[in-house]
Structure 1
Amino acid sequence: MAASMAAYIASPGALPTAVQRDLRSDHAGETGAVFIYWGILSCTRDSALREFATEHLATEQRHLAFFEQWLPASLKSRLIPLWKLAGWLLGALSLLGGRRGVFLTIEAVETFVVAHYREQLPQLREVGQEGLELKLRSFMDDEAAHRDDAASRSVAGPAGPLGRVWCALVGFGSAAGVAAARRL
C-alpha cells in the first residue's frame, strides 16, 4: 500500500500554479531536447555522432511522451513551435564545432537541465507529490548520464575560450527558455 501511494502522481490541474509552470517548462525543454538530436541527425553523416544522437534521442522521446500524455494542452507552452526550432537549430549549429562542438553543447544543455530538475524536487516533496518527484528524478538521472556521456566523449580536455563562451550562451539560452516557457 505504501509503495502504491509513493507512486501516485496527481492530476496536473490539481498541482500548485508554481509547479504547473515548472512542468510547462519541463515539457518545453524535453521538446527542445528531442529537436536538438533531430538537428544533429539531419545535418551529419558522422557515424559516431549519429549513434550518439540516436541513443540520446530515444531517451528524450520517452521523457517527452510522459509530458505529452500527462499534461493537458492548457498547461503546455504556447511556444512549442519556437522550442522545436530552437532545439533543431542548436543541434545543427553545434556541428559547426565538429564532434567537440556537439559534445560541449550536450554537456552544457544537460548541466543546465540537471540543475533545473534538481531545483523542482524539494517543492514536489513539499506538496506531497513523491510519485512525480520520483519520475522527475529518473529524468534528471537520465540527463546526468547524457551530460557525462558527452563529457567522456569530448576527449580534448577542458573547453577553450570559444568553447566556454559557447557553453555560457547555451546555458543563458536554456535559462531564458525556461523563463519564457513558465509564462507562455
Structure 2
Amino acid sequence: MNTTSLQSASALPTHLAGEMRSNHAGETGAVWIYRGVLAVSRNVEIRSFAAHHLATEQLHLQFFDDWLSAPQKSVLLPLWRLSGFVLGAVSAIGGRQWVYASIEAVETFVVKHYESQYGALEAYGDETLTAAIHRFCNDEADHRDEAGGEAQAPSSLLKAWCWVVGFGSEQAVKIARKI
C-alpha cells in the first residue's frame, strides 16, 4: 500500500502515535511468528499456510516501515521479533493443531486491537490511514477465520497456551504504545 498520500506520521496526536507504534510492533511480531513456523514445520500444509500469511504480514509491516520514522517505532523491536519467532516455533513443534490455534488466538486479539482504533482514526481524518487500518484488520480477520476453521477441540495444555498467547499480545501492545 502506498504511503505517499498519508499525512506525516509526525503530525499524529499522541494517542494515535502510540497506536501506530504498537501496530508496527505487532506486524513485526506477526512476520516473525510465520518465520518461526517456517523454520520448524515440515508439514506441507502448514508451510503453505504460513508462507501465504507471511506475505500479507510483510505488506502490512512494509506500510508501517515506510511511513513511520525510526524514533516513531518501538525501541523493543528485537524483543518483538524474538517473541514472534518463539511463538511460531513453539506452535510448529506442537504441530498442525497448535499452529492453527495459536494463529487464531493472536488474530482474535489483533482484530479487536485494530477495531479499537477506528473511532480515533475517523476523528483524525486521514482517509488513507483509516482505509489501510481497515484493510489490515480485514486481512487479520481472514487469517483468524482461516486458522479457526481448521482448529479442533483443544487440549487443556493448548487452551492454556492460547490464553498465554492472547495475554502476551495484550501486554506487548500496552508496552509498545509507550516505548
TM-score (norm 2): 0.95
Partners of 1:127 and 1:151 in 2: CA distance: 33
Q: Corresponding residue for 1:88?
A: 85
Please state if 1:69 is matched with 2:66. yes
Count the aligned residue pairs. 176
Within 2, Cα distance between the matches of 1:17 and 1:10? 15
Residues 41 and 93 in structure 2, CA contact (< 8 A), matched pair in contact too: no
Output one character per residue of 1:58-111: Cα deviation in whole Å (capped at 9) or x when no partner: 000000000000101110000000000000000001123210000000000000
Aligned residue in 2 for 1:162: 157
- Map 1:1-184 to 2 at 5 A: 8-154=5-151, 156=152, 158-184=153-179
1:127 deviation in Å? 1.6
Q: Tell me, which stretches of 5 or more residues in structure 2 are unaligned?
A: none
Contact 1:109 / 1:170 at 8 angstroms: preserved in 2? yes
CA distance in 1, matches of 2:164, 2:108: 13
Give the deviation of 1:8 after TM superposition: 5.0
Distance 2:94 2:16 in 1: 37
User: Conserved in 2, the CA contact under 8 Å of 1:8 and 1:129?
Assistant: no
Residues 8 and 130 in structure 1, CA contact (< 8 A), matched pair in contact too: no
- Using the size of structure 1 for normalisation, the TM-score is 0.92
TM-align CA RMSD:
1.3
Preserved contact between residue 106 and residue 146 of structure 1 (Cα < 8 Å): yes
Separation in 1, partners of 2:164, 2:31:
19
The share of aligned pairs that are identical, in percent, is: 49
Q: Which has the larger radius of gyration?
A: 1
CA contact (8 A) 1:106 1:147 kept: yes
* 5+ residue gaps, structure 1: 1-6
